Structure 1
Amino acid sequence: MPQRCRKMERRGVGRMFWNQLLRLRRRAGPPQDNPGEAVKEPERTQEHTLPSFAGGQHFFEYLLVVSLKKKRSGDAYEPTITYQFPKRENLLRGQQEEEERLLNAIPLFCFPDGNEWAPLTEYPRETFSFVLTNVDGSRKIGYCRRLLPAGPGPRLPKVYCIISCIGCFSLFSKILDEVEKRHQISMAVIYPFMQGLREAAFPAPGKTVTLKSFIPDSGTEFISLTRPLDSHLEHVDFSSLLHCLSFEQIIQIFASAVLERKIIFLAEGLSTLSQCIHAAAALLYPFSWAHTYIPVVPESLLATVCCPTPFMVGVQMRFQQEVMDSPMEEVLLVNLCAGTFLLSVGDEKDILPPKLQDDILDSLDQGIKELKTLEEINEHVSGPFVHFFVKTVGHYASYIKRDANGQGHFQERSFYKALTSKTNRRFVKKFVKTQLFSLFIQEAEKSKNPPAGYFQKKILEYEDQKKEKKTREKAVVNRRD
């Protein structure tokens, strides 16, 4: 074990995650995940990279304010939870321990940069997120707004953090706007707003929930929170990834992720890191990245990059040299600031079938300048990658044979032999060995019918297009005869 990794094992919060970093599993075992590794395989009840809900769920579990407080010894500061809503009472002992682990980890991810903080008069506000995994495998997302609170003279930054199991970044960014606005008045004004939010049901895709909130000197306000109709992309913003990298580079990152390799993103800002890593994971839809996944790695967990198992992590640029000096094998190291690959395996351009790779690139190039809204950008970027999976593995349902009890059994060999293209077949033979595909097909084997989601919709559209093409070709042949 490298010396740096031993150091990490002894560090406070690093210790709670260390079992995950050392746990090497074979393909048949439970998936590796991000900090707070699940002790059993998580349920895969949907086809989204992050949790998505039909509606009716609670918006959030906690609103926290994390502030920098002086350590007992010396002048250094450490992040500490200074406000928590709601307070949890009457929890069983096991639940209390789990909540304490969660709450102890959160400050580290709100201030992951390891700065030697000092009071400031100016500080650019940042919105970012992190993901933690519970012992039962369920994921929690921390939506963070870091800013300098209002007031005279030098001040220390603080973070508003909303903990939720729901992936909907644009919606929670708007909620953070409301929290920030109320905090400028008084913490007491935040409570009724968050209480109303907690009592409201999370809306179904395309639906709106309206909250009534009273603000002193402003009166009663009505706040509308709307979910996108197409919910499979509500947890992602592709614009940052497009700003930092070329289409060709994005395709190479996708190819590396498809084969479950190690990918590290470097950037200055927390917002850029978290948005780009979420976007990279979203390219895998309808498959879910089930390995180590840390949008912004805290300084004390930098030894993650010497982990021998697959990971997708974001690291601030200030730690670039420490990352470069780490013992790593077959890593794609992406500099988002310069738009370059600092390290690569070397075969990233050759992983995908050439024809399908060209199709993705052509689709991304077409009409990109005419796009205006975030929804249009997200659909334009995601669409070609979804279509790639439709063409390569969209026929999976036809190769799940069911026994008398209804249990499905995937016919792997027949599945990839059904592909007529040799290059497509060569790629799929590798892809079916990944956890990405295994977790997806395990869920499909349990379900008697394909899930009625966006991916299935695109499969049906593609099949209809092929039938129409055959009909047209047959009609042309008949006219010639």
Structure 2
Amino acid sequence: MLTWYFISSHLTLFLASLPSSTGAKMSNEVDAGDYGPMKRLSTMFSTFQDKFHRDRSDRDLTLPQPTAPALAVTSFFEYLVVVSLGKKRGQGTYEPQITYQFPKLANMELSQREEEEKSLKAILLFCFPEGVNWAPLTEYPSETFSFVLTEVDGSRRNGYCRRLLPHGKGARAPEAYCIISRVACFGLFSKIFDEVEKRRQISMAMIYPFMQSLREAPFPAPGNTVKIKSFIPESGTEIISLTRPLDSWLEHVDFRTLFHCLTNEEVLKVFASTVLERRIIFMAEELSTLSQVLHAVAALLYPFTWQHTFISIVPSVLIDVVMAPTPYLLGVQRSKLDDVTDQSDMLIVDLTEGAEKTFITCIGDESTILPEKLQEELLQALCCRRDNSTSEELNKVVSEAFLSFFVKTVGHFSSHVKGSSGRQPGVFQKKSFCKASEHKASQHFVKRFIQTQMFDIFIQEVERRPTQEGFFHKKIAEYQESKKKEKAKRGERACGVNIGIFRQNKQLICHMLLKRTGIDQQ
């Protein structure tokens, strides 16, 4: 099982195994003496990582099967919950409680219901990761963020959460709407939340018919639109259009927040650290900033996938995860700064606007990891984006810039998979692959990159299925074709120069011969 799945699964199981006296007790109630399991889990990370690398070095032609079968997505979501903060009796603290759920757990089979009850405890924790110290508010800006729940079999579900101040007068505690779905499409669910929030202001009962219509609607293919009819008192029947982005691998991503928080040069340093699978912590106070930036950074790796710990928002009770010795991408609220700055050999990125120092902690070689020429090309490509560009336009500019980087550094991989025929898997030739790099600087980077788990998993899939078609392969073919044309043009130019030189020399030779024979050229 992949390290990323292993860690995420155990985090989810840890959340689900927390004690509960009310059926949905908030995990933050565990006192300091109960934090031991997370520290033992950190030790487990190291042990598993050592074992993984030993197994990996012994691998010959036996390739692992996929961690979990691909699940066909047929509906928008599995369920919606509304989480409210209720004041604990005799105490000045609050605990989250599920006040609404659709569909009800009672409608599920017993085995499924038991699993979902465990997931609900984790959901409570992620909806309010700060802890139990809340006070009634009169103003609270709405924010939307996301998290990932990973099952033991490696399958993943996305949690989308919108927190806001419920409709009413006077000071009151915020509440959260959370949708659990197999679909990774942040923009789509942000629009769904807009509709849910609109109906919640009228009545909780108004949410049900809309979510029922959404649940019955077929999930659209990339680029397609589904239309849902919904009735609202005083407004009548509305038609809500939900369009899925054409590039499905970018539908969970919006790069605007990343480039609002960081400069182009800073983004490249973060990318370089991520490519080498280092420990990286992002800090911000807004949960929406953390989740959007972490998902954007992970998307820069396409066609590769981050294989290690990924927690876009680390709940307070799980802060000890920063001690894990294995690679991770973590989002931590800035109020927890003192809990993470005693760590070394990592990159800590402060996303706070106007921060005195963007990189609170760094290793120091971040600006030299990527080949210099390709760094310059990346910066030039990123400078082409406009300040007023739409989310789709920005996603296109950014994704193509970083995809081009991988095309130029490792796009020749298929030529170095030998011996594949029929059911027999191929074998990747590392040495010849590294030597075939276009430039010496690229060769140095490639030697480091092929040691990462993300490249290893990618190449295992190539060994298993050498003939593949996809967006990355399409871009590789386009790049190779452009190189052929460029080479042909250089050949034509060289040929033209040689012909010109020959003509000049021919005239000179004729002139000398005529002169030697005493014949006047005229």
The TM-score, its normalising length taken from structure 1, stands at: 0.89
Q: 2:400 aligns with which of 380, 383, 398?
A: 383
Determine which structure has the larger helix proportion and give its number: 2
Q: 2:67 aligns with which of 42, 51, 54?
A: 42
Aligned to 1:345: 363
Structure 2 CA distance for partners of 1:169 and 1:158, relative to 1, 3 Å: same
Aligned to 1:129: 146
User: Do the aligned residues in 2 keep the contact of 1:30 with 1:41 (CA within 8 Å)?
Assistant: no
Structure 2 CA distance for partners of 1:260 and 1:315, relative to 1, 3 Å: same
Tell me which amino acid in the other structure corresponds to 1:425.
Q
- Any idea what SS the aligned residue of 1:154 has? coil
Aligned to 2:335: 318
Q: Partners of 1:116 and 1:93 in 2: how far apart?
A: 35
Q: 1:360 aligns with which of 358, 365, 378?
A: 378
Tell me which amino acid in the other structure corresponds to 1:25.
Q
User: Do the aligned residues in 2 keep the contact of 1:392 with 1:428 (CA within 8 Å)?
Assistant: yes
The alpha-carbon deviation at position 348 of structure 1 amounts to 0.5
Q: Partners of 1:372 and 1:208 in 2: how far apart?
A: 23
Q: 1:199 aligns with which of 194, 216, 219?
A: 216
* Stretch of structure 1 that moved more, 180-189 or 92-101: 92-101
User: Do the aligned residues in 1 keep the contact of 2:43 with 2:324 (CA within 8 Å)?
Assistant: no
Give the alignment of 1:383-422 within 5 angstroms.
Answer: 383-401=400-418, 402-403=420-421, 405-422=423-440
- Any idea what SS the aligned residue of 2:49 has? coil
Deviations 1:30-62 (A, max 9, x none): 99xxxxxxxx963496xxxxx9x8xx6211111
Aligned to 1:102: 119
- Any idea what SS the aligned residue of 1:293 has? strand
Tell me which amino acid in the other structure corresponds to 2:198.
K
* Stretch of structure 1 that moved more, 203-212 or 454-463: 454-463
Paired residues in the alignment total 456
2:357 maps to 1:334: no
Aligned to 1:443: 461
Deviations 1:315-337 (A, max 9, x none): 11111112213xx2311000111
* Stretch of structure 1 that moved more, 397-406 or 276-285: 397-406
Aligned to 1:424: 442
Structure 2 CA distance for partners of 1:295 and 1:179, relative to 1, 3 Å: same
Tell me which amino acid in the other structure corresponds to 1:364.
L
The TM-score, its normalising length taken from structure 2, stands at: 0.82
Bigger radius of gyration: 2
Give the alignment of 1:247-258 within 5 angstroms.
Answer: 247-258=264-275
- Any idea what SS the aligned residue of 1:25 has? helix
CA RMSD of the aligned region, Å? 2.6
Q: Partners of 2:192 and 2:299 in 1: how far apart?
A: 23
Q: 1:267 aligns with which of 284, 287, 295?
A: 284
2:208 maps to 1:171: no
Unmatched runs of 5 consecutive residues or more in structure 2: 1-29, 57-64, 499-522
Q: Partners of 1:370 and 1:299 in 2: how far apart?
A: 36
Tell me which amino acid in the other structure corresponds to 1:454.
F
Q: Partners of 1:123 and 1:329 in 2: how far apart?
A: 36
User: Do the aligned residues in 2 keep the contact of 1:208 with 1:225 (CA within 8 Å)?
Assistant: yes
User: Do the aligned residues in 1 keep the contact of 2:42 with 2:323 (CA within 8 Å)?
Assistant: no
Tell me which amino acid in the other structure corresponds to 2:442.
N
Aligned to 1:35: none
User: Do the aligned residues in 1 keep the contact of 2:344 with 2:361 (CA within 8 Å)?
Assistant: no
Structure 2 CA distance for partners of 1:11 and 1:90, relative to 1, 3 Å: farther
Q: Partners of 1:21 and 1:270 in 2: how far apart?
A: 26
The alpha-carbon deviation at position 480 of structure 1 amounts to 2.5
User: Do the aligned residues in 1 keep the contact of 2:39 with 2:320 (CA within 8 Å)?
Assistant: no
The alpha-carbon deviation at position 231 of structure 1 amounts to 2.1
Q: Partners of 1:10 and 1:442 in 2: how far apart?
A: 40
User: Do the aligned residues in 2 keep the contact of 1:406 with 1:448 (CA within 8 Å)?
Assistant: no
